[in-house]
Amino acid sequence: MARRYLIDRLSSRAEPIRPEATGDDRYLQPIQDGANVLGIIPGTELPDEYVIVGAHYDGQGTSCRTTVPGDGVCNSATDNAAGVAAALSIAQDLVDHPPRRSVVIALWDGEEANLRGSIAYVNAPVVPLAQTVAYVNFDVLGSNLLPSLRTTTFAVGAETGGSVLTGIVRDAVDADALDTAMVSAVLGAYRSDYTAFLTSSIPTVFFSDSTGPCYHTPGDDIDVVDFDKLDHQVATATRVVRALANSRSAVLPSTSGTASAPGIRIYRGSMAGLCVPLSTLHAAPRDAPRMTRGQHDSLHLCCQGLAPFTPCRSPGALHKSTGRATRRRQCSRPARRAPGQSSCRPLCVVAAIPP
């Protein structure tokens, strides 16, 4: 049902990716146990160069990490119906403002099954990867990681496209009132579809609110979507896609590494005594992009105490419940809570600390 709905929406905005096929198959790329939904908006001047805009449309179904009485279904409103809506909104903008380069709108299946759809795509791309200038990813939008982050979101990995992509994202971010923190690709933890494109050396930026309290729960419903925030996120991302599709400067994969990329916030802590070198950790997936030894040695995981874990609730409830004491309070109780204790978790960032 979801796939049929998306084909209807996409077919009014984009041309089929497989025009030789018939019916719905013209917009589908079959994968194991599913199908990606793909359409293309042809470029007016550079039709053989491509920008890909993607978001996964699969959800958890009944495989929620938590359940509530009478509700065991994850409706996946912020993860990732909001991301799909952002991609379709950008598709409509490109119809209204035809781009110089072609833009592929990619709605991935199987992201929740180890990135199955995007990995299948890069293994059998419908447009040449060598002619793909950038990938823009949406995963978890219109969400609030903490009450104090209602006006904060993240743009992950722009440094992978060097100074051109970093500049494009920075200009788009600066044009909006929403505080979009530009952070290194490593902070995305290689847990979304941007990973498949990074491993294929495609410059990428990944827009996200990270995984908040409603993540993979029945509470991720439409009433927790922060639509005002989502509007700002879509506006910022639309500026990025327009610039990528119309830029006269080439976007090239960066060879400088994440630690030295200009304009990227990867050192946000000051408590170096609590930092652990990433070289001592082995959490990254085997297929994650590798850093050189020098880059790896300068990166540390810094944890700065414990922060309150906010229950899953609507933006309005978050606004009402957030006072200065709640917003600034640091937890003194351990992250592994006993009955009656508050739910707390560590605040950790990746920091570049020069040797």
- pLDDT at 146 exceeding the cut of 90: no
For range 255-272, the mean pLDDT? 37
Which of the pair, 256 or 12, is modelled with greater confidence?
12
- pLDDT at 150 exceeding the cut of 50: yes
Q: What is the DSSP letter of 255?
A: S
Residue recorded with tokens 């013209």: 26
Contacts of residue 55, defined as CB under 8 A and 6 or more positions apart, other chains included, come to 80, 83, 84, 86, 87, 106, 107, 108, 137, 138, 139, 193
Supply the mean pLDDT for the chain: 78
For range 253-276, the mean pLDDT? 40
When pLDDT is cut at 50, 70 and 90, the band that residue 345 belongs to is very low
DSSP letters for 260-314: G-TT--------GGGEEEGGG---S-TTSPPPPHHHHHHEEEEEEEEEE-PPS--
DSSP letters for 24-73: GGGGEEEETTEEEEEEEE--SSEEEEEEEEEEE----BT--SS-BTTB--
When pLDDT is cut at 50, 70 and 90, the band that residue 313 belongs to is low
**2-246 CATH pick, 3.30.2030.30, 2.60.40.10, 3.40.630.10, 3.40.1710.10:** 3.40.630.10
Domain with CATH 3.40.630.10 in the chain: 2-246
Read off the tokens for 146: 């903490």
Tell me the percentage of the chain whose pLDDT exceeds 70.
Answer: 71
Quote the pTM value.
Answer: 0.77
- pLDDT at 233 exceeding the cut of 70: yes
Residue recorded with tokens 């709605």: 107
- pLDDT at 328 exceeding the cut of 80: no
- Using DSSP bridges, classify how beta strands 152-156 and 204-208 pair: parallel, antiparallel or unpaired: antiparallel
Which of the pair, 210 or 32, is modelled with greater confidence?
32
Instruction: Convert the pLDDT of each residue in 28-54 to its tens digit.
Output: 999 999 999 999 999 999 999 999 999
For range 245-267, the mean pLDDT? 58
Which pLDDT does position 299 carry in this prediction? 54
Lowest-confidence pick of 8-22, 34-48, 191-205, 246-260: 246-260
Instruction: Convert the pLDDT of each residue in 286-307 to its tens digit.
Output: 343 443 434 445 555 554 443 4
Q: Considering only CA atoms, which of 305, 297, 304, 303 is closest in space to residue 353?
A: 297
